[in-house]
A and B are shown apart, each in its own frame.
Chain A
Amino acid sequence: MNPALGDLDRNLGLHLEWVERARRDRCDLVVFPELSLTGYVLEDLAYGVGMRLDDPRLAVLIEQSKSISIIVGFVEHTPDHQYRIASAYLEDGEIRYVHHKVYLVTYGLFDEGRYLAAGERVRAFDTKFGRQAILICEDLWHPSALVIAAADGADVIHAPAASPGRGISGAAEVLGSARTWHDLTRVYSQMLVNFTVFANRTGYEDGINFYGASRILGPDGQVLADAGGDPALISADLSDGALRRARIASPLRRDEKLNVTLNELARIRQVRIR
């Protein structure tokens, strides 16, 4: 989808249209990109579009979630007046979970850390459709975040994103930024043995093009659905059977040694503190 920068009301309308399309396609869950209600290049606009969790515009989508589960992106204005990049999981008329982007991007063309506060936790959560986790865009460029989500039992990892196209030089047939996303979603899905839902936005903001290319991947790393560059609704069946078969064929989760990881990380933290 292609949200309008800073126009919450218009974007709410867009969300309702896409939710309706997803409902018509008999989807159970619809995932919107990062900051889908606000647009991305917000800068100082972040403070104007920041929403409390009881915002009436969010309530409209919460109401919709009685018949279809929704992951929606926005700026949360928290009670202590921090502004955070948030993606909320809405289900059965309530907010089931809110993830705040942990890894804000403040390099290259990005300037999130100047305006926004970073999230402080990575967790999986239970839903009608099993255990899931949300990581937002740059969060997925830190493998530790995915390892935590998988260790916490996520069968589906959602990756709402606002990834701009860049890196057209060289002979690559796809944008440099798109290629990285293709690679990391494929490798993570296969290595952590979970479904991945990469929901990237489209459109232009301040000369930046968001290239879309949303995709859904299975726990064997296979691409189940691919959106291409235009706004599109893609869907796939995230069947428990596929998960079961993948985890038998590739028992990486079973063999994961949490204690080794924790012990070694604890040791490294001690060394670093010293």
Chain B
Amino acid sequence: MDRWLTLDHELAAQMLIGFVRNQVGKVGFERAVIALSGGIDSALSAVLTARALGPENVTAVMMPYRESNPDSLSHARLLAEGLGIDSRVIEITDLVEPYFSRNPAMSNLRRGNVMARTRMTLVYDMSARNDALVIGTSNKTELLLGYGTLHGDMASAVNPLGDIYKTQVFMLAAAVGVPDPILQKPPSADLWEGQTDEEELGLTYRDVDRLLVLLVDRRFNLQEAAAAGVDRNYIAQILGKVRTNQFKRRPPVIAKLSDRTIEREFRYPRDWGV
């Protein structure tokens, strides 16, 4: 099964670098901003963007919260320094704490969403300040499972990683020279102490990517995936996540009244007029 997840690293990197250069340039921009978490997705996105636009045109924004793992910030710094890109640290503690203190019963999920959307606000403000576009960091695994905050970390103008699975992110990141400490640590949204993606999702990226590539890319149905050796309950669970998170991958639904509704009959490429 793993062969469906293999990538020609050089070709993939070249295509993604060309994509970022083309998408940013054609709408009249030269610069990009990217939120660096210290994790592998934003690291890979930053490397690709720096190669596409030149390090002098990329600004990294690090936005720690007081409970964030200090390693996250030091890993983000390590990456930014290695790439020679401009970086800014903006603490979000002072911004989110007043709201948290007014709502002491907030769940981790709600707190995480507020932090993700606060970071989105700041990175978009930085993009306006710098005449830059926001580069996304959501990968295909996260997008399919809905493991991201809508209008938070999922928000961007240009996303180079949305069609590669998390295990492919690891392979590509290693190939383009993302530093070892970032490659080695377990993936984490770092929203609370000790959080890891795999624990929170209750699955491993390796297993879920092997299944997703069958279901999505290879169009296996439930029976065929089961025949390929995947547990039926697991398949049903993952299919359920993919299905119930479809709304996150689409713009808000528009009520149809007229003969020509935006998105439905009013369809133009995104590159229309640029």
Interface residues of A (CB under 8 A from B): 47-48, 108-109, 164-169, 176, 206-209
Contact = CB atoms under 8 A, between A and B. Distances in A.
Interface in B204-219: 219
A165 B261 CA distance: 12
A48 B257 contact: no
A82 to B, nearest CB: 15
Contacts of A167: 258-259
B255 A207 contact: yes
Contact of B256 (A48, A169, A208): A208
Contacts of A208: 256, 264
Contact of A109 (B219, B221, B253, B264): B264
B268 to A, nearest CB: 15
Contacts of B254: 207
B180 interface: no
A176 B259 contact: yes
Interface in B234-274: 253-259, 261, 264-265
Contacts of B265: 108-109
Contacts, number: 35
Nearest to A108: B265
Contact of A168 (B219, B221, B258, B264): B258
A64 B265 CA distance: 40
A162 B148 CA distance: 35
A207 B219 contact: no
A8 B120 CA distance: 40
Given A108-B265, A109-B261, A109-B265, A209 B219 contact: no
Given A109-B265, A209-B256, 4 more contacts: A48-B221, A108-B259, A166-B256, A207-B254
A166 B258 contact: yes
Contact of A164 (B219, B253, B256): B256
Most buried by A among B219, B253, B257, B258: B257
B242 to A, nearest CB: 12
B253 A206 contact: yes
B219 A166 contact: no
B225 to A, nearest CB: 13
A65 to B, nearest CB: 28
Nearest to B250: A206
Contacts of A47: 219, 221
A165 B264 CA distance: 13
Interface string B150-170: 000000000000000000000
25 contacts: A47-B219, A47-B221, A48-B221, A108-B265, A109-B256, A109-B261, A109-B264, A109-B265, A166-B256, A166-B257, A166-B259, A167-B258, A167-B259, A168-B258, A169-B258, A176-B259, A206-B253, A207-B254, A207-B256, A207-B261, A207-B264, A208-B256, A208-B264, A209-B255, A209-B256
A138 B261 CA distance: 20
Contacts of B258: 166-169
A167 B258 CA distance: 5
Most buried by B among A108, A165, A166, A209: A166
A165 B256 contact: yes
A108 B253 CA distance: 17
A48 B243 CA distance: 13
Contacts of A168: 257-258
A48 B221 CA distance: 8
Q: Which 7 A-B pairs have the closest CB atoms?
A: A207-B253, A109-B264, A208-B256, A167-B259, A168-B257, A207-B255, A207-B254
A240 B259 CA distance: 41
Contacts of B261: 109, 166, 207
Contacts of A109: 256, 261, 264-265
Most buried by A among B255, B256, B258: B256
A117 B159 CA distance: 34
A48 B225 CA distance: 14
Contacts of B221: 47-48
Contacts of B253: 206-207
A167 B261 CA distance: 10
B238 to A, nearest CB: 15
Contacts of B264: 109, 207-208
B103 to A, nearest CB: 33
A60 B157 CA distance: 50
A182 B261 CA distance: 24
Nearest to B221: A48
A86 to B, nearest CB: 20
